[in-house]
């Protein structure tokens, strides 16, 4: 009686198979969002670093060479 396994049939079997796929799709979406967010931050950082490099080259470096 205690060793008897319950068999999943019908809708329960479909849910048993579908839930892991739904969870995986959710996490893939979250990872895609985080990846896009981090890439956006990286692009902003690269832009700011290029502006700072240009400012250094145009304004600060000539004073250092005098």
DSSP code per residue over 36-50: HHHHHHHHHHHHHHH
Q: Decide if 38 is inside a domain.
A: yes
Domain that holds residue 24: 19-66
What pLDDT, in 10s, does the model give residues 11-63?
Answer: 888 889 899 999 998 998 888 888 888 778 888 888 888 888 888 878 877 77
Position 13 in a domain: no
Residue 12 within any structural domain of the chain: no
Cα–Cα distance for residue pair 57/66, rounded to 1 Å = 14
- Residue 64, token pair as written in the block: 């250092």
pTM for the structure as a whole: 0.53
Q: Is residue 30 part of a domain?
A: yes
28 lies in a domain? yes
Q: How far is CA 46 from the centre of its chain?
A: 19
Res 64 pLDDT > 70? yes
| Residue 20, pLDDT score | 93
pLDDT in the model for residue 5: 61
How many domains, the chain? 1
Q: Identify the pLDDT of residue 46.
A: 83
CB 39 within 8 A of CB 31: no
């Amino acid at each position: 009686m205690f060793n008897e396994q319950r068999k999943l049939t019908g809708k329960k079997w479909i849910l048993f198979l579908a839930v892991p796929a739904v969870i995986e799709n959710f996490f893939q979406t979250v990872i895609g969002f985080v990846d896009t967010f981090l890439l956006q931050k990286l692009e902003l950082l690269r832009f700011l670093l290029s502006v700072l490099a240009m400012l250094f080259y145009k304004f600060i470096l000539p004073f250092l060479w005098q």
